[in-house]
Structure 1
Amino acid sequence: MNLNFLEIISASIVLFAVIDIIGSIPIILDLKKKGGHIEALKASLVALIVLIIFTFLGERLLNLFGVDISSFAIAGSFILFIMGVEMALGIEIIKYDGPSGVSIVPIAFPLVAGAGSFTTVLSLRAEYAVENIIIAIVLNLLFVYTVLRSTNFVEKILGEGGIHILRKVFGIILLAISIKLFMSNVAIQIHSLFPFLKQAL
Structure 2
Amino acid sequence: MFSWKETFTITMILFAVIDIIGSIPIIVDLRSKMGHIQSEKATIVAAIIMISFLFVGEEILNLIGIDANSFAVAGAFVLFFLALEMILGIRLYKEDNPSTASIVPIAFPLIAGAGTMTTLLSLRAEYEKINIIVAILINIILVYTVLKLSGKIEKLLGSNGLGVIRKIFGVILLAIAVKLFAANVKGLLN
**Normalising by the residue count of structure 1, what TM-score does the alignment of the two structures yield?**
0.77
Q: Distance in 1 between matches of 2:84 and 2:176?
A: 12
Q: Which residue of 1 aligns with 2:175?
A: 176
Which residue identity is paired with 1:125? L
Indicate if the aligned counterparts of 1:17 and 1:171 stay in contact, CA closer than 8 A: no
Are residues 1:120 and 2:115 paired? yes
Shift of 1:136: 4.0
2:184 alignment counterpart: 185
5+ residue gaps, structure 1, are 194-201
Q: Could you say what secondary structure the match of 2:154 adopts?
A: helix
CA distance in 2, matches of 1:183, 1:2: 31
Match of 1:199 in 2: none
Instruction: Find 1:31's aligned residue among 27, 30, 34.
Output: 34
The aligned amino acid for 2:15 is: S
Alpha-carbon offset, residue 172 of structure 1? 0.4
Aligned to 1:66, the other structure's residue is in SS state coil
Shift of 1:98: 6.2
**Comparing 128-137 with 20-29, which one deviates more in the overlay?**
128-137
Taking a change above 3 Å as real, the CA distance of residues 19 and 134 of structure 1, as seen in their structure-2 partners, is farther
Q: Deviations over 1:45-64 (max 9, x none)?
A: 23322332233222222111
More displaced, 128-137 or 151-160? 128-137
Aligned to 1:67, the other structure's residue is in SS state: coil
CA contact (8 A) 2:25 2:163 kept: no
Structure with higher Rg: it is 1
> 1 CA distance for matches of 2:21 and 2:58?
20
On the 8 A contact 1:17/1:170 being kept in 2, the answer is no
Query: Deviation at 1:110?
Result: 1.2
Percent of aligned pairs with the same residue? 37
In 2, are the aligned partners of 1:88 and 1:168 still within 8 Å (CA)? yes
Residue pair 2:20, 2:143 contacting (<8 A) in 1 also: no
Distance between the aligned counterparts of 1:50 and 1:16, measured in 2?
Answer: 17
What is aligned with 2:104? Answer: 110
Q: Alpha carbons of 1:96 and 1:164: their partners in 2 closer, same or farther (altered >3 Å)?
A: farther
Aligned-CA RMSD value: 2.6
Partner of 2:23: 20
Alignment of 1:33-182 (within 5 A): 36=36, 38-97=37-96, 99-101=98-100, 106-107=101-102, 109-115=103-109, 117-129=112-124, 131=129, 132-182=131-181
1:43/1:182 CA distance change after superposition, 3 Å: closer
Find the aligned partners of 1:80 and 1:53 in 2 and give their Cα distance.
21
Within the candidate set 6, 10, 19, 1:7 is matched to 10
CA gap of 1:43–1:176, structure 2 versus 1, over 3 A, is closer
Partner SS for 1:114: helix
Q: Which runs of 5+ in 2 are unaligned?
A: none
Q: How many corresponding residue pairs? A: 182
